[in-house]
Amino acid sequence: MTARVLVAGATGVIGRALVPLLRARGHHVTALVREPSRAAGLALDGVVVADALEAEAVRAAVLSARPDVVVHQLTALRGPTAEGFEPTARLRTEGTAHLIAAAEAAGAERMVAQSIAFATAPRGGPVLTEDAPLYADAPDPGWALTTRAIAELERRILGAAHLSGTVLRYGTLYGPGTLYHRAGAFGGAVARGRLPLPEPAAGITSFLHVEDAARAAVCAVEADTDGVFNVADDDPVEAAVWLPEYARLLGAPPPRTVPAQLAERLLGWFTSYQLTAMRGAANDRGRQALNWKPAVSSWRTRLADD
């Protein structure tokens, strides 16, 4: 069955991959954008304009698009720094509330929203399911804000009165446009030998190619399953393994090692946490419920791709 699909965040890293896949499946795709010029070059069936933080504008835009399904891929993450956390948290709380209210007013049936697989607390593991608690008590204020915003987004999506909802908890994104691309902030630092490896580096990362994130969103649009699903590759991996291999693939020297106690000062809280303590995400539930599987089943083949 084809549907009228409204994509909020169509001009983002995932959105740009998602729009052509949806249209190739025969869906009618409208982009909700805050700046129309950002949609230039995207093949779309329609464009509506609103800032996601402005309730009335969102309502008018969504009503005019008349969607069956609304896909929420809004973030304001621009780098490995904390500066995107606060605006992204607002998009996940206020922005989500505006989209749900507008989607319900427009008579939409479903919402699909982006969340994070690595927002779970680093307890148990090493690879956690969707049942693991989120890290709302993270010691870093930015990450605590992020996980609380994720929790609110998920509660709102699953609790919407007149919509069914699917939450996609994406793993660590890599591929064109992401931080891990060699031109991205993280990839560039590793390529220049500027990212040290804490010792021990026992943090687990579950990676996800951006094309697989987009494919999972198509599956979620077409599925009739509600719930929260991890969307990550099949190969969760310790930093002690992936960071040296990533450096090798980028043609960089092996990362120098530093004692784990120095990692936070040298790398910042989040990267230090990722490399030393983060847990991986099991993808079994999403694979089954969404009828999705990663085309890139392991980061090992494509992490340094252009």
Ligand X SMILES: NC(=O)c1ccc[n+]([C@@H]2O[C@H](COP(=O)([O-])OP(=O)(O)OC[C@H]3O[C@@H](n4cnc5c(N)ncnc54)[C@H](OP(=O)(O)O)[C@@H]3O)[C@@H](O)[C@H]2O)c1
Contact residues for ligand X, defined by CB under 6 A: 9, 11-15, 34-35, 38, 51-53, 73-77, 91, 114, 116, 170, 172-173, 177-179
CB-nearer residue toward ligand X: 81 or 261: 81
Q: What is the C-alpha to C-alpha distance for residues 304 and 115, in angstroms, rounded to an integer?
A: 24
Going by their DSSP bridges, the two strands 204-205 and 237-238 should be labelled as antiparallel
CB-nearer residue toward ligand X: 38 or 66: 38
Smallest gap from residue 35 Cβ to ligand X (A): 5
Smallest gap from residue 81 Cβ to ligand X (A): 10
CB-nearer residue toward ligand X: 98 or 110: 98
Nearest-CB residue to ligand X?
A: 12
305 to each of 124, 173, 174, 215, 254, how far by Cα in Å? 32, 13, 9, 18, 18
Smallest gap from residue 185 Cβ to ligand X (A): 9
CB-nearer residue toward ligand X: 26 or 41: 41
CB-nearer residue toward ligand X: 101 or 199: 101
38 to each of 11, 47, 48, how far by Cα in Å? 6, 11, 12
CA atoms within 13 A on the CB side of 7: 34
Helix 55-65 to helix 96-105 angle (10° resolution) is 40
10: phi then psi, degrees, rounded to nearest 5: -65, -20
CB-nearer residue toward ligand X: 119 or 223: 119
Contact by Cβ (8 Å): 217, 6: no
β-pair partners for 140: none
Contact by Cβ (8 Å): 203, 263: no
Smallest gap from residue 56 Cβ to ligand X (A): 14
Q: What is the C-alpha to C-alpha distance for residues 254 and 277, in angstroms, rounded to an integer?
A: 21
Nearest to 94 by CA among 48, 152, 141: 152
CB-nearer residue toward ligand X: 87 or 200: 87
Query: Before 126, cis peptide (omega within 30)?
Result: yes
Contact by Cβ (8 Å): 89, 143: no
Going by their DSSP bridges, the two strands 28-33 and 4-8 should be labelled as parallel
Smallest gap from residue 301 Cβ to ligand X (A): 18
CB-nearer residue toward ligand X: 74 or 89: 74
Residue type, 269: W
Smallest gap from residue 171 Cβ to ligand X (A): 7
Smallest gap from residue 38 Cβ to ligand X (A): 4
Smallest gap from residue 210 Cβ to ligand X (A): 7
Q: What is the C-alpha to C-alpha distance for residues 163 and 102, in angstroms, rounded to an integer?
A: 11
